[in-house]
Amino acid sequence: MELDLDLSLSPHSNSSNFGFGFDLNKHLNTKEKRFEAMLGLENMEEDCYVPKPSSFSLNGQPEKEDEDPLESDSSVVYDEEGNCKVVGWPPIKSCMTKYLNYRHHSRNHPYHHHGRRINISNPAATMERVRRPTSSMYVKVKMDGVAITRKVDIKIFDSYESLTNSLITMFSQYQDCDREDTNFGFTFQGKEGDWLLPGDGPWKIFAESVHRISITRDCPCPHTRLLF
Amino acid sequence: MDLRLPSKVLEHIFSFVDSNEDRNSVSLVCKSWFETERLTRKRVFVRNCYAVTPAAVARRFPEMRSLTLKGKPHFADYNLVPDGWGGYAWPWIEAMAEKSPALEELRLKRMVVTDECLEKIAASFKEFKALVLTSCEGFSTDGLAAIAVACRNLRELELRECIVEDLGGDWLSYFPETLTSLVSLDFSCLDSEVKLSDLELLVSRSPNLKSLKLNRDVSLDALGSLLRLAPQLVELGTGSFSDKLDQEAVSKLSQAFTELKELKSLSGLWDVLPEYIPLLYSVCPGLTSLNLSYATVQMPDLVELLSRCSNLQKLWVMDLIEDKGLEAVASSCKELRELRVFPSGADVDETNVALTEQGLVSVSEACPNLESVLYFCAQFTNEALVTIARNRPNLKCVRLCVMEPFAPDHKTQQPLDEGFKAIVEGCKGLQRLSVSGLLTDKAFEYIGTHGKKLRMLSIAFAGDSDLMLHHLLSGCESLNKLEIRDCPFGDTALLENAAKLETMRSLWMSSCGVSFGACKLLSQKMPKLNVEVIDEHPLKTRPDSSPVEKIYIYRTLAGPRLDMPEFVWTIHKNPEIGVSNLAIE
């Protein structure tokens, strides 16, 4: 996947040639294109593949990617609905985004559709899991081999299956794995620190007490296979 | 003739010097002034907890009674700093417990505070009076219980936007019956319900209680009974304002509000229903500060409320206020000093389109004391910025967030360079600036040329080349904190202006084009800087030309820190050692 940018060095760089400059104005007309180019999002496939932005060697040529090209860089991640989002943009503090997300997901909220333009990017998925949570409950999810621990809001799911499916979807977009062939093992850590398997208890109780989720892939041990 | 003043006289004179900026100047005059000043300083501010060691601070200020510390870089507020980065309060608390046991106040911002820390505070500082934690994390409500039970002279317990592991509301019941000294209590960020009877008992035995900020779980009914117990409140943060109440309860609540004769600050108001807005009318004329960030009412209701707030100085509100509402604010709130307008939707797509640049222009025209602005908006124009600068040359803080990255002037399709030029040129006292929208290197040339008083600058998705950084580092004389993300500059400007970095508190750069080699060079050239590389996807071999994800550079007297996680590397001063990750297990 090429980055369609002009890699000319900045006019004022000296002979050390460390930096690269790119003049977005030269090649791109609209702000959408600039944004996409910045993050390498042009020529985007449906699955929202985002290459790591530019390892450039001294002479300005892109280096060979020596690692998984699907690994996202620090600026772009995926939310639970699988949409590309820029980390930390717009710059709103987490207590406020937590509140705004609660309003977004709350179908019964009095001001959900009140006279403003609302653009829900994936209406089917949103309707499926819209409910009125009393508060968010973010739980850390760590998958084998993925450096970044993600967080998901447990309250927006209503069953083990919806949770595990969403998690698999979320991580599949990072990793070059075929979700059909891969076996995923889920274990959950409760508040007391004990590790449980999905289905060990009723969903409701689980949702109140889960603290952390760990996912293994292709693990040979039968007891960690997905139970569903 | 000995012209030196006796130290007792000096001490007396210095006791009138309050501001730490002045005290810092005083301590530079000569050795004896340094000594006298340090022995009399009671309030110590350390704005970067890694700039100096706890032991050094304790040693220098033996009479310290109040310590304020800041930890993580500001961009941690927006999830740009990975978990586990650092900012641990423990080493400070441990050191102070040993060397400054008379400590009375601890104010921490963006630090990791554990239950162990809170227990240590409770056990070590017999005269402890005030704990204020802002944007902190790492502790649970158990830690709060430890503070509550042990600090017999507690005056302030404030948790502002902290992430707390909420194990239930019991912690509140640990305040002993003998505790009557409470002045300020803020638990607005907690999730779980506290027992109303415990809260009522606490409030009724706290005659000095001036500030009470409840969490969302405190019902409207409960609010009524609490207000009746504390009519002397100056600051109130309500709980959720959306429960359905019967007529009798509503009128009792209304009556309770009218009894709040001293109220100056109001916040909370989560999900307030329009029919409850009139309950607040009685307190409006006295309000100087109103936080409607969670008040999801529409413009007409907001206008009804705000048109009664003639003394308002600080207003935080959502973009539901729209341009029309801001016009009403402009005509009613002539004392306004600070305005913040937040988006009502979590995404760019959900921004309220009835709020445009015009809203801010109206307020800038009509409010002569306006000096601080934070404004989230879908789009902006150069013309509006020019007008705002002309109307309000006294602006000290301008934080404009055009929600769409790279958005140009929506009327002319030009970059917003000229608009920001007007701001820095016209507002000569500008100390803080956040820019957004489409910006070329020219914008930064203007900022470098005119922003002479600028202390803090935040930049995202802007500029074209190294020139942008060069203009800023070489031009902005007062620059203290610079944070930049997703901008296309490389190494040149950074290396050419390396000396500047020692005059600044810190520099944050993420997703820019700075190479690993430049980080090494910089660190080797500048002994008093810590150059920290944050990289969650490190390459197996790291060539000098590879760009780094995030860099945090700060001046320090303490040398490289020893508490880094595995994804943070510091560059050793000795090129032979190279890069190390000095983590303590």
Task: Quick: pLDDT tens for B409-448.
Answer: 999 999 999 999 999 999 999 999 999 999 999 999 999 9
Question: Please, what are the averages of pLDDT over each run of 10 residues along chain A (228 residues)?
Answer: 35 32 36 49 36 31 35 53 73 89 63 39 36 57 68 79 80 54 76 74 80 71 33
A192 interface with B at CB cutoff 8 Å: no
Contact A67 B539 (CB under 8 A): yes
Nearest to B350 among A14, A66, A118 (CB): A118
Mean pLDDT of the region B166-172: 90
Contacts of B522 by beta carbon, 8 Å cutoff, 6+ apart: B494, B495, B498, B501, B529, B531, B553, B571
Instruction: Grade residue B240 by pLDDT with cuts at 50, 70 and 90.
Output: very high
Distance from CA of A149 to the nearest CA of B (A): 9
Q: Which residues of A touch B142 (CB under 8 A)?
A: none
Over its C-alpha atoms, chain B yields an Rg (Å, rounded) of 25
The answer, for A95 touching chain B at a CB cutoff of 8 Å, is: yes
Cβ neighbours for B510, distance < 8 A, ≥ 6 positions apart: A74, A75, B75, B80, B484, B485, B486, B534, B549, B550, B551
What angle in degrees, to the nearest 10, is found between the helix axes of B31-40 and B7-14?
A: 60
B220-238 average pLDDT score: 96
Q: What is the pLDDT of residue A105?
A: 72
- The predicted pLDDT at position A195 comes to 79
pLDDT value of position B578:
54
The model's pTM: 0.77
User: Which one of B492, B494, B512, B522 would you mutate to disrupt binding with A, by most A Cβ within 10 Å of its Cβ?
Assistant: B492
Is the pLDDT at B19 greater than 80? The verdict is: yes
Largest CA distance in chain B: 82
Q: Which residue of A has its CA nearest to B408?
A: A31
Give residue A100's pLDDT: 85
- How far apart CA B506 and CA B487 sit, in angstroms, is 18
| Distance (Å, whole) CA A27 – CA B176 | 69
Beta strands in A116-178 (DSSP E): 138-143, 150-153
Among B80-84, B86-90, B536-540, B573-577, the minimum mean pLDDT is found in B573-577
pLDDT of residue A80: 55
Q: For residue range B282-296, what is the model confidence (pLDDT) as tens digits?
A: 999 999 999 999 999
Which pLDDT value is given to residue A169?
Answer: 75
| Neighbouring C-beta atoms of residue B178, cutoff 10 Å | 8
- Chain B contact set for A101 (CB, 8 A): 346
- For the segment B541-562, what is each residue's pLDDT rounded down to a tens digit? 778 888 899 999 999 999 999 8
The answer for A 205-224 residues in CB contact with B (under 8 A) is none
Hey, are the CB atoms on A147 and B537 less than 8 Å from each other? yes
Q: With an 8 Å Cβ cutoff, is A30 touching chain B?
A: no
At residue A198, the pLDDT reads: 74
Helices (H), B230-379: 247-258, 299-306, 322-332, 357-366
- Please say if the pLDDT value at position B168 is more than 50: yes
Which chain B residue has the Cα nearest residue A91? B78
Checking if the pLDDT of B408 tops 70, the result is yes
Window B:299-328, CB contacts with A under 8 Å: none
Identify all chain B residues contacting A142, using CB atoms and an 8 Å cutoff. Answer: none
pLDDT value of residue A201: 75
Structure tokens at A182: 């891969």
Distances B222 to A171, B13, B197, B253 between C-alpha atoms, Å: 44, 50, 9, 10
The pair of structure tokens assigned to B166 is 């909420």
Cβ atoms of B408 and B382 closer than 8 Å = no
The residue of chain B nearest to residue A98, with distances taken between CA atoms, is B346
Q: Testing the interface with A: which of B324, B470, B511 to mutate, by most A Cβ within 10 A?
A: B511
Q: At what angle do helices B220-229 and B196-204 cross, to 10 degrees?
A: 20
Residue B185 host element (H or E): strand B184-186
What token pair was written down for A124? 């089917």
Residue B341 distance to chain A (closest CA, Å):
11
Smallest Cα distance from B376 to chain A, Å: 9
pLDDT of residue B579: 58
Rounded to whole angstroms, the Cα distance separating B187 from B133 reads 11
pLDDT at B209: 98
What pLDDT, on a 0 to 100 scale, did the predictor assign at position A86?
81
Question: Binning pLDDT at 50, 70 and 90, where does residue B353 land?
Answer: confident
CB neighbourhood size of B62 (10 A): 12
Which residue among A16, A23, A116 places its CB closest to the CB of B492? A16
Minimal Cα–Cα distance from B138 to chain A, Å? Answer: 14
What is the average pLDDT score of chain B? 93
Q: B333 pLDDT band (50/70/90 cuts)?
A: very high
Tokens 């609660």 correspond to: A102
Mean pLDDT along residues B146-154 = 95
Would you tell me which residues 328-357 of chain B have a C-beta closer than 8 angstroms to some C-beta of chain A?
342-350, 352-353
Asked if the C-beta of A26 comes within 8 angstroms of chain B's C-beta atoms, the answer is no
Give the largest CA-CA distance in chain A: 66
**Cβ atoms B531, B522 nearer than 8 A:** yes
Q: What local confidence, expressed as pLDDT, does residue A62 receive? A: 36
Q: What is the number of other CB atoms lying within 10 angstroms of the CB of residue A37?
A: 18
CB contact under 8 A, A57 and B545: yes
The residue type at B13: I
